Structure 1
Amino acid sequence: MFDRLSSLVAALTLIAVAAIFAALAGGDALTIVILALAGIVGAAAVYTALPAQLPEPQAPSPVEAPLFSLLRHPDFALWVDQEQEPLIGVDGTIVTIANDAAVRLLGRHIVGADVRTAIRHPAATEWLARIGGEAPLETLNLVDFPRPGQRWTMRVAALSGDDRIIFLSDRTAIDAADRMRSDFVANASHELRTPLAAILGYVETLQDMDGEADGPMRHRFLSIIEREAGRMQQLVIDLLSISRVEADRFRRPTASVDLAAIVRNTIAQLQDSEAARPKDIVARFGTEKQPMLGDEAQLGQLVHNIVSNAMKYGRAGTPVTVELAREGQRIRLSVSDEGDGIAPDHLPRLTERFYRVDEARSRSVGGTGLGLAIVKHISERHQGLLDIESALGKGTRVSVAFPLADGA
């Protein structure tokens, strides 16, 4: 294609060529002039008609592909609902998807709502306000969320465009375990320090006397030292016991044992020992075997702890009743005393380590505060159901129902 300048040059060249041929052919001057003028007029007309410059050809513009949203993919929704912890998908600040765990935690109304109102927590509101910014958001701790005493963490993962995924994780149980470990160390240190201080104090007193003390006083001091040392020894034994039981809690026992024989042997050991009130134990079960899968040593300790507690806290001269009774495919061990009983608000905490209803009385009878905690852990390992019933002024009944061996 020619532009205007190229066309003009071509037209003038043709005029010049035509004039030269006319002159060579012998034409007169007037004819040559007229022919030249006509050519110039024609060239001017062509020059005016043509555009100044033809437009450059344009390449076709590519069609932009629509932005893909992972949050709206059906496979993503299928995966989200299989996750155990709450997941929330947001477009900008609007919740577009929430899995079943998130719906149970926050409510079904959160889908389609602003995420800053869906997660109602003062720290979350400020954190979520920065969700669309360039700076990455750090993991956030939500204390007392969604209820007092609970703690959750929240973090976000960025997808394409304005899509985000918010992850919520429940840290309540982990925090409780951490507190339990700290309390356990603190309580164990306190329980060991108390008898140790008494032992050291009386030993120093005996040393300062330089043989001046009479026989009865020296004997009294040595008896106190012996008693406190015994408390420390029992505490160490119980600490080791609960540690071993916790280490075995995920290993189910596989040995076949006779629960009736274990209970019978434990009662005989208590009656032959120097424990208080050995004659108050009343056994009410027959001679038939009660087979189950269990750890004989741990079951013996469980029976010993329950019966010993009943002997310590029941009133002297009243029976400590030990029973074995079948209940379908379970065998229930029950130990009842006729003591002062326990107030209802204390019952849920009796299996906590070092928890005591009456600390002064517990120390006077030699309790370590770990007996029922050990019973609880041994029961759980043997798939037993522990139950504690008590009435003020009437007494307490502790029972554990164990599954019998198949075919028993």
Structure 2
Amino acid sequence: MFDRLSSLVIAVTLVAIAAIFATLTGGDPLSIAIMALAGFIAAATVYSALPVPLPDAPRTSAAEPVLPPAISLLRHPDFAHWVDQEKEPLLGIADNIVTIANDAAIRLLGRHIVGADVRTAIRHPAATDWLSRIDDGAPLEMVNLIDFPRPGARWTMRIAALSGREYIIFLSDRSAIDAADRMRSDFVANASHELRTPLAAILGYVETLQDMNGETDMATRSRFLSIIHGEAGRMQQLVIDLLSISRVEADRFRRPTTPVDLAGIVGTSIAQLCDSEQARAKDIVAKLGEEPLPMLGDQAQLGQLAHNIISNALKYGHTGTPVTVELTREGRRVRLAVSDEGDGIAPDHLPRLTERFYRVDEARSRSVGGTGLGLAIVKHISERHQGQLDIESELGKGTRVSVTFPLAT
């Protein structure tokens, strides 16, 4: 296709040739002039009608395609909206500078981290070392932050790479998971130890009796058999408590729906202790009142709760001192309280009394036959029944354990 200049040149040339041809053949000068003028006008019309050519687009190399400008995800409004909804700490960093942080990150690290170098925002040796090597192509692996942000805690740090030198940092709290794992390991170790101790005693005395071949006197044999019987009973009680705590934990999310009378349950537990071989049963002072105390509960579990609390008071209170068992209505709740007059418990031990196998005085607990699971079972039973467990103690005066439950009416 011709351009505008080429078209004009051709038109003018044709008009000129026509004029010269007319002159050579003897044509009228006026006619020749009119024809030439008409030709020029036609050429001008053709020239103006042709389209104006567009400027040439810049040439680019096939090896270097033109790409649209990169869009920063960290500056996108939808990204900021998503960050604010995240429950765990999240940071957006560009060139090692924290450009965005959600509320969880600010609560964990402080408001000053926005605009700061990420290596100073997350003050932990493992994090600092990893973040210092991120530009060297270090693999984007998970990093454990031990004792962060406080001793005994553990967090993990994950990093997702974006375009350019931008990254997203995810922080996750794993302290509770670690604590649960430690509790599980401690539980297995303690249970094994508690079972191994009486089992070793039983095996030792049985072997001694076998080696004597009937040469021992009846008094010695009876004493050994009595020890074996006692250790076997201790193992049996430990197995019962282990099964109880497992059963209670399995039921902890199922609220009881059976109507029961707490006053009747506590009264039955006291009667069972008085009928047993419990040496201090006569020291129990019951203040249960006359009215029934209806609630929704598991009768067997509430009986075990009352039995464990009263038994502990009998074990650790001084001989000959009263163990007071009270039931008191407090509005729409009822309080079961058991008080003893013993040595008391130091304040630093109180928060740990409901831990499995925790003992204030291990030697004394073993001598009175405790398994270390009694109050742990009480705690789980009270939680299942929406109860509140309280332990108060004063050194040299005694301990008061109480649980409040919601009444059915």
TM-score range, shorter chain: 0.7 to 0.9
- Matched residue, 1:330: 333
Equivalent residue letter for 2:339: S
- Matched residue, 1:82: 85
1:289 matched to 2:292? The reply is yes
Local SS of the residue matching 1:317? coil
- Matched residue, 1:346: 349
- Matched residue, 1:106: 109
Equivalent residue letter for 1:328: G
Local SS of the residue matching 1:265? helix
Local SS of the residue matching 1:302? helix
Query: What is the CA distance between 1:63 and its match in structure 2?
Result: 7.8
TM-score by length of 2: 0.83
**Which of the numbers 280, 283, 287 marks the counterpart of 2:283?**
280
Local SS of the residue matching 1:292? strand
Name the CA distance, whole Å, in 2 between partners of 1:235 and 1:248.
20
Name the CA distance, whole Å, in 2 between partners of 1:297 and 1:401.
18
Name the CA distance, whole Å, in 2 between partners of 1:128 and 1:337.
58
Task: Decide whether the 8 Å contact of 1:87 with 1:167 is kept in 2.
Answer: yes
Equivalent residue letter for 2:302: L
Equivalent residue letter for 1:350: L
> C-alpha root-mean-square deviation of aligned residues, in Å?
2.3
Name the CA distance, whole Å, in 2 between partners of 1:166 and 1:276.
64
Query: What is the CA distance between 1:72 and its match in structure 2?
Result: 2.0
Equivalent residue letter for 1:376: K
- Matched residue, 2:189: 186
- Matched residue, 2:157: 154
Aligned pairs for 1:359-398 within 5 A: 359-398=362-401
Query: What is the CA distance between 1:383 and its match in structure 2?
Result: 1.6
Query: What is the CA distance between 1:254 and its match in structure 2?
Result: 1.9
Local SS of the residue matching 2:123? coil
Task: Decide whether the 8 Å contact of 1:276 with 1:312 is kept in 2.
Answer: no
Task: Decide whether the 8 Å contact of 1:252 with 1:381 is kept in 2.
Answer: yes
Local SS of the residue matching 1:88? strand
**Which of the numbers 232, 235, 238 marks the counterpart of 1:232?**
235
Name the CA distance, whole Å, in 2 between partners of 1:87 and 1:271.
61
Query: What is the CA distance between 1:161 and its match in structure 2?
Result: 2.8
1:137 matched to 2:140? The reply is yes
Where structure 2 has 5 or more consecutive residues not aligned to the other structure, the ranges are 3-23, 25-54
Equivalent residue letter for 1:344: P
- Matched residue, 2:70: 67
Q: Deviations over 1:52-77 (max 9, x none)?
A: xxxx9444779854322222222222
- Matched residue, 2:302: 299
Percent identical among aligned pairs is 81
Greater shift after overlay, 248-257 or 214-223? Answer: 248-257
Where structure 1 has 5 or more consecutive residues not aligned to the other structure, the ranges are 3-24, 26-55
- Matched residue, 1:255: 258
Local SS of the residue matching 1:199? helix
- Matched residue, 1:168: 171
